[in-house]
């Protein structure tokens, strides 16, 4: 089975791109599975079911979505293999821009949209920087200049990335993305593979349920801002 990991900010068009990609891939829908990692709620499972794709959704809830991803992706792969999929797609919404649910040796795709502003690529961290392929959506409603500057700014943070423009509504660009993904490698499991980037470190008192504000309540990994006096 092939595993492809998708990440991207909320509402950037990940689900639409994946659905158009599945249509363009020329495989039977029953040979494809999707595992969706989300935070609190998601309605995307309905969209996958509508096109006949099997989907499992997991909610990280109060946990960091990246920690949640890495502790569940192995089981997701086992589920995929048992279900007889040829391709398993993982989709996760990166909320803090530091998210990078990418694994070394596993093809990774970051989806970002043109409407998020031309400088956004420069502000997104590992989620964009560590991706093999960057899919840009919503290019049909901004000016050519903004599209070009956006792509340029992606190159600034990820010089090696392949940029593909995909229209999530019409599917324009999806066949090219499908061709790209053909090269994804076959796997039988993920045991001992490594993430491309450390997940956000967070073992502090707030992780364990502390709610009060004040230095005396703070323990563990903390980072303090510096406020300069004039």
Partner 1 sequence: MTAEKYLEMAIAAPLHKIIAEHPICRDFFMNLRLTNIDFNLPLMQALDNIAEDDISEFGLDKGMILREFCQFLETFGKVASDDAAIRSLTIIGGHGKSGEAEIEQWTASVGEIISIVGPTGAGKSRLLADIECLADGDTPTGRRIHIDGKEISDERRFDMEGKLVAQLSQNMNFVMDLTVKEFLGMHASSRLTRDAENTIVKCFECANELAGEKFLLDTKVTQLSGGQSRALMIADTAYMSSSPVVLIDEIENAGIDRRQAIQILAQKEKIVFISTHDPLLALSADKRIVIKNGGISRIIETSAEEKGCLGAIEKLDATLYRLRTCLRHGQEISMDTVKGEEQQ
- Residues lying near partner 1 in the complex (CB under 8 A) are found at 24, 114-115, 117-118, 122, 125-126, 129-130, 140-149, 151-153, 155-157, 159-160, 162-165, 170, 172-173, 175-176, 179-180, 197-198
CB of 173 to partner 1, least distance (A): 6
Closest approach, Cβ 82 to partner 1, in A, equals 32
Tell me how far apart the alpha carbons of residues 230 and 227 are, in angstroms, rounded to a whole number. Answer: 10
Cα–Cα distance measured from residue 213 to residue 210, given in angstroms and rounded to the nearest whole number: 9
Residue 55's SS3 state is strand
Q: How far is it, in rounded angstroms, from Cα 45 to Cα 47? A: 5
Task: Name which of 178 and 187 has its Cβ closer to partner 1.
Answer: 178
Q: Residue 86 or 162: which CB sits closer to partner 1?
A: 162
- For residues 166 and 174, the answer to whether their CB atoms sit within 8 Å is yes
Least distance in angstroms from the C-beta of 56 to partner 1 = 29
End-to-end CA distance of the chain: 60
Q: How far apart are CA 33 and CA 2, in angstroms?
A: 10
Closest approach of Cβ 164 to partner 1, in Å? Answer: 7
Q: Judged by CB, which is closer to partner 1: 70, or 118?
A: 118
């Amino acid at each position: 089975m092939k595993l492809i990991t998708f990440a991207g900010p909320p509402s950037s068009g990940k689900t639409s791109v994946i659905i158009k990609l599945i249509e363009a891939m020329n495989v039977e829908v029953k040979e494809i599975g999707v595992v969706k990692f989300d935070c609190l709620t998601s309605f995307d499972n309905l969209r996958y079911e509508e096109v006949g794709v099997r989907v499992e959704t997991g909610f990280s809830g109060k946990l960091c979505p990246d920690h949640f991803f890495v502790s569940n992706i192995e089981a997701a792969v086992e589920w995929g293999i048992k279900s007889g999929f040829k391709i398993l797609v993982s989709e996760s919404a990166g909320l803090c821009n530091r998210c990078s649910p990418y694994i070394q040796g596993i093809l990774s795709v970051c989806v970002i949209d043109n409407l998020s502003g031309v400088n956004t690529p420069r502000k997104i961290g590992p989620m964009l920087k560590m991706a093999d392929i960057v899919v840009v959506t919503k290019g049909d409603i901004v000016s050519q200049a903004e599209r070009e500057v956006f792509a340029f700014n992606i190159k600034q943070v990820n010089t090696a990335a392949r940029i593909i423009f995909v229209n999530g509504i019409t599917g324009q660009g999806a066949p090219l993305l499908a061709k790209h993904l053909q090269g994804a490698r076959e796997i039988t499991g993920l045991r001992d593979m490594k993430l491309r980037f450390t997940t956000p470190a967070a073992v502090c008192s707030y992780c364990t349920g502390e709610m009060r504000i004040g230095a005396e309540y703070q323990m563990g990994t903390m980072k303090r801002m510096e406020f300069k006096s004039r």
